[in-house]
């Protein structure tokens, strides 16, 4: 029996359904064949239709070489074909590897080279040259309609999918997640989240398809609920997203906290037609958002926590259970403990590293037994070292205190600054580079010693090899890196980046826009040529900037901010009625 004064908490035992996630979906399709299950754009499919069409695509994949245990890379656009690809891969018994078709070529090549898929499936032109099966817009339905829809033999359940995360060595690493972990996730959702009596829910799927959290809404689908795939045109624009939720009368919405905050500002909970369940994960929730959602009437909000290695989420906390942010308690068939450097549980209330054990654990890292052994330790039972600093409060709930290393979450993505640093060091004309996360809302800042390249060339080359969330918000040239006594770079001696005060004189129109930049980004100064995205802006904060400007009478949309990135270009939109206003209130 464990000592009750130590930081150990158990999620209890739950009996799991037999089979795989795919088996769960097929059973649901037999129970409710005519119920609508998937809505994407103008397309609406029943459970029977999705089941039959995914069987047909499974035949195509099997003919192309997808056998049980092999890897199928799915580089799909945001359409019904993306969900078909997930189901069809599972129906062959193969392992799904999601690929973002807009990722830089170098990153895609690195992932494909490491995973060595037997089949590459895509409907995106950017990946067509690498693909074995291409579902083009013109003829994919006609092609599948000719295929046999009988079910394939799948063999024993093993890995379900592989998700590549940022790696500190510069190379992404593939996390292998098993079918039993997915079924355990489904069991948690079914027991604690699926409504007991209100019938099928309409669930928003607004998460990136290459994100491991995308398995949450897919689990709702397997549970008999109606999944609505939020289109790209609405997904990153809070106002359009809210319109989509209202139009389709969606009752369940999941988002990272930064996006959820933007959705609330856009009116997500205004009026009668609003979601009843809000799920958040991917990064820490601040007190302001926590309190705002606790006070919202007739809404259940839940904070979900879990590394990729623990299958989407492994602890949960309803916001109405606690006045301050918490990651809650473990899900079923899972245990958590907070330990010291020797992996011994610490007393309740003391900080330490969070270790997770149980059915949620991934199988390990693809092709990396040493890394697997380092992160998945065995001490009586198999446990994952999260690298997260936590403490167990006296109420039995866990509090997240940050990272033990320099890994951070940026807009929901787990980011190793070392991967960006490695990419910089691999560029021609860069002699030295240090990358670290800075600021209350973390953003990557790169410090470089340049050789023959200019800053503009470095930024352009970096965009060609890294996805957006790994790009530094600022690249700062330095004459030389500070060194410590051992001759290594002293990272702590680099002064945090602060934008220099503007030396230029702004017009009243530019001053209005510049003030909006400062408030939105939380920085002291910008000038006419300041680029919103180079200063750390992203698509969500761009939508918020557009809303700020509209509130001051400037007809500005998200598209305007994306196309007119600088203060000067956006100031061209300032109409006569706003041109007299050159001051800005700094309260929000």
pLDDT at 441: 72
- The confidence band for 585, taking pLDDT boundaries of 50, 70 and 90, is very low
Q: Is residue 107 part of a domain?
A: yes
Rg (CA), the chain: 25
For 171, the enclosing helix (H) or strand (E) is: none
Residue-number span of the structural domain to which 572 is assigned: 508-578
Same domain, 486 and 518: no
Same domain, 48 and 151: yes
Among 225-239, 376-390, 519-533, the minimum mean pLDDT is found in 519-533
How far apart (Å, rounded) are the C-alpha atoms in residues 238 and 257? 13
Of 156, 178, 211, at which residue does a domain stop? 156
Q: Do 210 and 151 contact (CB within 8 A), yes or no?
A: no
Q: Is residue 568 part of a domain?
A: yes
- The confidence band for 576, taking pLDDT boundaries of 50, 70 and 90, is low
Same domain, 28 and 92: yes
Same domain, 479 and 568: no
- SS3 state of residue 141: helix
Q: Is residue 164 part of a domain?
A: no
pTM for the structure as a whole: 0.83
Closest CA to 184 of 306, 54, 96: 306
- The confidence band for 200, taking pLDDT boundaries of 50, 70 and 90, is very high
pLDDT at 587: 31
Residue 166 has pLDDT above 90, yes or no: no
pLDDT at 583: 40
Q: What is the pLDDT of residues 323-336, one digit of tens each?
A: 999 999 999 999 99
Same domain, 482 and 565: no
Q: Do 415 and 289 contact (CB within 8 A), yes or no?
A: no
Residue 84 makes CB contacts below 8 A (sequence gap 6+) with: 50, 53, 54, 57
How far apart (Å, rounded) are the C-alpha atoms in residues 32 and 432? 60
DSSP 199-246: -PPEEEE-S-TTSGGGHHHHHHHHTTPEEEE--HHHHT-HHHHHHHHH
Number of domains in the chain: 3
Percent of the chain with pLDDT over 90: 57
Residue 107 belongs to a domain with what CATH number?
3.40.50.980
Q: Is residue 125 part of a domain?
A: yes
pLDDT at 23: 95
Q: What is the mean pLDDT of residues 356-368?
A: 96
pLDDT at 379: 74
Q: What is the pLDDT of residues 430-441, one digit of tens each?
A: 888 899 888 777
Q: What is the pLDDT of residues 526-548, one digit of tens each?
A: 888 888 887 777 778 888 899 99
Of 469, 493, 517, at which residue does a domain stop? 493
Residue 429 belongs to a domain with what CATH number?
3.30.300.30
Q: What is the pLDDT of residues 23-46, one digit of tens each?
A: 999 999 999 999 999 999 878 999
- The confidence band for 586, taking pLDDT boundaries of 50, 70 and 90, is very low
DSSP type of residue 370:
H
Q: What is the pLDDT of residues 447-482, one digit of tens each?
A: 998 888 888 888 888 988 888 888 888 888 888 788
Same domain, 141 and 75: yes
Q: Is residue 390 part of a domain?
A: no
Q: Do 237 and 262 contact (CB within 8 A), yes or no?
A: no
Answer with the residue of higher pLDDT: 273 or 363. Answer: 363
Of 119, 137, 156, at which residue does a domain stop? 156
Average model confidence (pLDDT) for the chain?
88
How far apart (Å, rounded) are the C-alpha atoms in residues 371 and 351? 25
The torsion angles phi and psi of 361, rounded to 5 degrees, stand at -70, 140
Q: Is residue 442 part of a domain?
A: yes
Residue 584 has pLDDT above 60, yes or no: no
Q: Is residue 2 part of a domain?
A: no
Residue by residue, what is the 3-state secondary structure of 237-263? Answer: CHHHHHHHHHHHCCCEEEECHHHHHHH
- The confidence band for 407, taking pLDDT boundaries of 50, 70 and 90, is confident
- The confidence band for 504, taking pLDDT boundaries of 50, 70 and 90, is low
- The confidence band for 165, taking pLDDT boundaries of 50, 70 and 90, is confident
DSSP 293-338: HHTSTT-EEEEEE--GGGSS-SEEEEGGG-SS---BEE-TTEEEEE
Same domain, 145 and 57: yes
CB atoms within 10 A of CB 412: 20
Same domain, 37 and 149: yes
CB atoms within 10 A of CB 550: 13
Same domain, 555 and 474: no
Q: Are strands 119-122 and 413-415 parallel, antiparallel or unpaired?
A: unpaired
Q: What is the pLDDT of residues 541-569, one digit of tens each?
A: 888 899 999 989 999 999 899 899 999 99
Q: Is residue 375 part of a domain?
A: no
Same domain, 457 and 532: no
For the purposes of burial, counting CB atoms within 10 Å of the CB of 272, is it exposed (0-12), middle (13-18) or buried (19 or more)? Answer: exposed
How far apart (Å, rounded) are the C-alpha atoms in residues 213 and 313? 8
Same domain, 559 and 488: no
DSSP 43-96: EEEEHHHHHHHHHHHHHHHHHHT--TT-EEEEE--SSHHHHHHHHHHHHHT-EE
Q: What is the mean pLDDT of residues 300-323?
A: 96
Residue 573 belongs to a domain with what CATH number?
1.10.1200.10
Residue 579 has pLDDT above 70, yes or no: no
- The confidence band for 580, taking pLDDT boundaries of 50, 70 and 90, is very low
Same domain, 437 and 461: yes
CA distances from 378 to 357, 388, 458 (A): 10, 18, 44
């Amino acid at each position: 029996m464990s000592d009750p004064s130590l930081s150990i908490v158990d999620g209890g035992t739950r009996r799991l359904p037999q089979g795989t996630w795919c088996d769960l979906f097929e059973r649901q399709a037999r129970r409710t064949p005519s119920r609508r299950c998937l809505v994407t754009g103008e397309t609406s499919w029943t459970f029977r239709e999705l089941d039959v069409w995914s069987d047909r695509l499974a035949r195509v994949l099997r003919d192309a070489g997808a056998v049980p245990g092999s890897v199928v890379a799915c580089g799909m656009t945001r359409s019904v074909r993306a969900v078909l690809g997930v189901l069809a891969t599972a129906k062959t018994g193969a392992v799904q590897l999601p690929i973002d078709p807009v990722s830089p070529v170098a990153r895609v090549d690195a992932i494909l080279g490491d995973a060595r898929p037997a089949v590459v499936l895509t409907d995106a032109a950017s990946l067509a040259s690498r693909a074995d099966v291409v579902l083009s817009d013109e003829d994919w339905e006609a092609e599948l309609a000719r295929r046999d829809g009988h079910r394939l033999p799948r063999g024993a359940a093993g890995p379900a999918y592989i998700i590549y995360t940022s790696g500190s060595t510069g190379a992404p690493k593939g996390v292998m997640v098993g079918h039993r972990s997915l079924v355990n996730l489904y069991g948690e959702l079914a027991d604690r989240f699926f409504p007991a009596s209100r019938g099928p829910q309409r669930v928003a799927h607004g998460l990136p398809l290459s994100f491991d959290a995308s398995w949450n809404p897919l689990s709702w689908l397997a549970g008999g609920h109606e999944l609505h795939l939020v289109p790209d045109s609405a997904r990153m624009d809070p106002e359009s997203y809210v319109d989509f939720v209202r139009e389709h009368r969606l009752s369940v919405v999941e988002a990272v906290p930064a996006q959820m905050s933007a959705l609330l500002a856009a009116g997500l909970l205004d009026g009668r037609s609003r979601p009843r369940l809000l799920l958040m994960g991917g990064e820490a929730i601040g007190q302001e958002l926590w309190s705002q959602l606790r006070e919202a009437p007739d809404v259940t909000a839940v904070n979900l926590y879990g590394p990729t290695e623990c299958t989407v989420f492994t602890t949960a906390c309803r916001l109405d259970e606690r006045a301050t942010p918490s990651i809650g308690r473990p899900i079923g068939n899972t245990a958590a403990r907070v330990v010291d450097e020797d992996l011994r549980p610490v007393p309740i209330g003391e900080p330490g590293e969070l270790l997770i054990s149980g059915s949620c654990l991934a199988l390990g890292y693809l092709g990396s037994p040493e890394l697997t052994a380092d992160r998945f330790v065995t001490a009586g039972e198999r446990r994952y070292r999260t690298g997260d600093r936590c403490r167990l409060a006296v109420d039995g709930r866990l509090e997240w205190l940050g990272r033990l290393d320099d890994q951070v979450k940026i807009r929901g993505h787990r980011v190793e600054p070392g991967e960006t640093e490695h990419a910089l060091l691999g560029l021609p004309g860069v002699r030295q580079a240090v990358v670290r996360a800075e600021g209350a809302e973390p953003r990557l800042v790169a410090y470089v010693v340049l050789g023959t390249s200019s800053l503009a060339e470095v930024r352009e080359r970096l965009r060609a090899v890294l996805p957006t969330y790994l790009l530094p918000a600022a690249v700062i040239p330095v004459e030389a890196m500070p060194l410590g006594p051992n001759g290594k770079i002293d990272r702590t001696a680099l002064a945090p980046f602060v934008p220099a005060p503007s030396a230029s004189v702004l017009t009243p129109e530019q001053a209005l826009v510049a003030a909006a930049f400062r408030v939105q980004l939380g920085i002291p100064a910008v000038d006419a040529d300041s680029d919103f995205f180079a200063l750390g802006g992203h698509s969500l904060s761009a939508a918020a900037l557009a809303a700020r400007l509209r509130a001051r009478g400037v007809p500005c949309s998200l598209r305007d901010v994306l196309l007119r990135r600088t203060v000067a270009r956006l100031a061209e939109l300032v109409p006569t009625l706003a041109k007299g206003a050159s001051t800005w209130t700094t309260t929000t």
